[in-house]
């Protein structure tokens, strides 16, 4: 059975936590590929100030030399809020029951799953893989916890299920977030090794995140 993973997010900007998490899923779950799936308008977050075009361009740069990772921009082409259930319905329509589809999320996202539109419906359409995330605690909503307990399977079995299974992935612990990177860029700090070099070059070239809001701007 073909096994595909999808890591949804804002990627504002993409960083090594996303990229290592996606690769750890390829390795530990035996997925054929993981697509990074940028949201146009995440329902539970503020609208990103950085345009979808910039966020997807940074993603393309981030995966350009990693054949196990791709970028899927379908949510950017859809008007309105980016509900995951709509995306997963589309994916399931595209990849029929002979494909294992796994939606990947960090533990902090799982903690909010009960706020997602038709979150129970996700289990009919795809598996869920959860990435451990430093600082995130598993205080799960009762209904979510019960659902997960019923569906939990070993990481190595997930790719044999088309949908409905849940597993936890031991991600390389990386205490990095887009919020912290945006703050560091704004403060003129060095963000090398927190995100791919090509992405840093793109940010500087396009003057994103106030990254030139330091002495350098004054001396231009």
5 binds ligand ATP (CB under 6 A): no
Taking alpha carbons only, the member of 53, 72, 69 closest to residue 13 is 53
3-state secondary structure the chain: CEEEEEEEECCCCCCHHHHHHHHHHHHHHCCCEEEEEECCCCCCCCCCCCCHHHHHHHHHHHHCCCCCEEECCHHHHCCCCCCHHHHHHHHHHHCCCCEEEEEEEEHHHHHCHHHCCCHHHHHHHCEEEEECCCCCCCCCCHHHHHHHHHHECCHHHHHHCCCCCEEEECCCCCCCCHHHHHHHHHCCCCCECCECHHHHHHHHHCCHHHCCCCHHHHHC
- 3, 4, 5, 11: which one binds ligand ATP (CB under 6 A): 11
In the complex, the smallest distance separating the C-beta of residue 34 from ligand ATP, rounded to whole angstroms, is: 11
Residue 129 sits in the site that holds ligand ATP (CB under 6 A): no
Q: Which is nearer to ligand ATP, 100 or 178 (CB)?
A: 178
**Residues in region 131-190 near ligand ATP by CB under 6 A:** 131, 133, 171, 174, 176-179
State in angstroms the smallest separation of the CB of 75 from ligand ATP: 12
With CB under 6 A, what is the number of residues at the site for ligand ATP?
19
| Contacts to ligand ATP from residues 14-43, by CB under 6 A | 17-18, 21
Smallest distance, ligand ATP to C-beta of residue 182, A = 7
Q: In the complex, which residue's CB is closest to ligand ATP?
A: 106
Binding flag, residue 10, ligand ATP (CB under 6 A): yes
CB of 41 to ligand ATP, least distance (A): 13
Dihedral angle of Cα 160, 163, 168, 173, to the nearest 10 degrees: 100
Contacts with ligand ATP in 68-127 (CB under 6 A)? 105-106, 108-109
Residue 209: both structure tokens together? 């995140």
Which range in 9-17, 26-34, 73-81, 194-202 contacts ligand ATP by CB under 6 A?
9-17
Q: Which is nearer to ligand ATP, 133 or 159 (CB)?
A: 133
Closer residue to ligand ATP in complex, CB, 1/133: 133
- Answer whether the bond into residue 26 is a cis peptide, omega within 30°: no
Question: Residue numbers of the site for ligand ATP (CB under 6 A)?
Answer: 9-12, 17-18, 21, 105-106, 108-109, 131, 133, 171, 174, 176-179
């Amino acid at each position: 059975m073909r096994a595909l993973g999808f890591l949804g997010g804002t990627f504002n900007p993409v960083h090594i936590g996303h990229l290592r998490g996606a690769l750890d899923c390829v390795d530990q779950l035996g997925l054929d590929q993981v697509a990074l799936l940028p949201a146009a308008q995440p329902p539970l977050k503020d609208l990103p100030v950085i345009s979808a075009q910039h966020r997807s361009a940074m993603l393309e740069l981030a995966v350009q030399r990693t054949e196990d990772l791709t970028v899927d921009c379908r949510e950017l082409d859809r008007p309105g809020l980016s509900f995951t259930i709509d995306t997963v319905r589309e994916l399931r329509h595209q990849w029929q029951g002979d494909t294992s589809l796994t939606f990947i999320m960090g533990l902090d996202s799982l903690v909010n799953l009960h706020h997602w539109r038709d979150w129970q419906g996700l289990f009919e359409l795809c598996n869920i893989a959860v990435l451990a995330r430093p600082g995130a605690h598993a205080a799960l909503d009762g209904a979510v916890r019960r659902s997960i307990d019923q569906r939990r399977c070993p990481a190595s079995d997930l790719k044999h299920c088309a949908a409905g299974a849940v597993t936890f992935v031991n991600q390389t612990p990386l205490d990095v977030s887009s919020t912290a990177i945006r703050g560091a860029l704004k403060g003129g700090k060095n963000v090398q090794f927190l995100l791919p070099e090509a992405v840093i070059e793109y940010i500087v070239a396009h003057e994103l995140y106030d990254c030139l809001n330091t002495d350098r701007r004054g001396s231009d």
